[in-house]
C-alpha cells in the first residue's frame, strides 16, 4: 500500500513538472489590446475662430489617453486645397493626465485663400500611439 501511494505521488509530481515545463513564462502570448488616445468630437475650440492667412492658430481639444502620455505628443493638422494636401505639426502641451483638454498651435500657410477651411486633426501621444482623426472648421478671412 505504501508503495502504491508513493508511486502515485511521484507520478503526479512528474505530470505536473512536465505540464509546467511547457510554460514559457508568459512571453509571446496574447497581448492586451492597445488603448490609443481618443479625441472627443465636438469639444474643439479654435482660437481665434476666424484668421487671416499666415496666422497662428491655437486648437484646444478634449481627449482621453489612458496611458497619460499625451503631454509632449504631436498634433498633425492637414487640409486639402486644389488637390494639394498641406500638413502642419504642433507640439501638444497642457495635457498631463489621462483626460482633459490638450492645447496645440500651428502657423497657417500664408497662401491659403479666404473661405471655410476644413482641418483634419489627429494626435500622437509621446508613446507613439495615434488617435482617430476629427474635422475642425476654420474660417480664413480675406483682405
Nearest Cα neighbor of 138 from 75, 78, 65, 68 is 78
Residue 97 domain boundaries: 38-140
86 sits in which H/E element:
strand 84-91
**Percentage, residues of the chain above pLDDT 90:** 69
- The answer to whether 61 and 43 have CB atoms below 8 angstroms apart is yes
* CATH of residue 105: 2.60.40.770
- The answer to whether 121 and 46 have CB atoms below 8 angstroms apart is no
Per-residue pLDDT of 11-59, as tens digits, reads: 555 555 555 555 555 555 554 446 899 999 999 999 999 999 999 999 9
Query: How many other C-beta atoms are found inside a 10 Å radius of the C-beta of residue 142?
Result: 8
119, part of any domain: yes
- Residue of higher predicted confidence among 134 and 96: 134
18, part of any domain: no
29, part of any domain: no
Q: How many domains does the chain have?
A: 1
92, part of any domain: yes
Grade residue 8 by pLDDT with cuts at 50, 70 and 90. low
17, part of any domain: no
Mean pLDDT in residue range 81-85: 92
Amino acid at each position: 500500500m505504501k508503495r502504491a501511494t508513493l508511486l502515485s505521488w511521484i507520478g503526479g509530481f512528474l505530470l505536473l513538472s512536465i505540464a509546467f515545463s511547457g510554460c514559457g513564462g508568459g512571453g509571446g502570448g496574447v497581448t492586451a489590446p492597445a488603448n490609443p488616445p481618443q479625441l472627443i468630437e465636438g469639444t474643439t475650440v479654435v482660437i481665434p475662430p476666424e484668421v487671416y492667412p499666415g496666422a497662428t492658430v491655437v486648437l484646444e481639444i478634449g481627449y482621453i489617453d489612458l496611458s497619460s502620455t499625451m503631454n509632449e505628443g504631436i498634433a498633425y493638422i492637414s487640409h486639402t486645397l486644389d488637390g494639394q494636401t498641406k500638413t502642419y505639426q504642433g507640439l501638444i502641451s497642457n495635457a498631463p493626465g489621462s483626460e482633459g483638454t490638450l492645447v496645440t498651435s500651428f502657423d497657417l500657410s500664408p497662401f491659403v485663400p479666404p473661405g471655410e477651411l476644413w482641418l483634419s486633426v489627429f494626435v500622437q501621444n509621446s508613446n507613439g500611439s495615434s488617435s482617430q482623426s476629427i474635422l475642425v472648421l476654420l474660417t480664413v478671412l480675406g483682405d
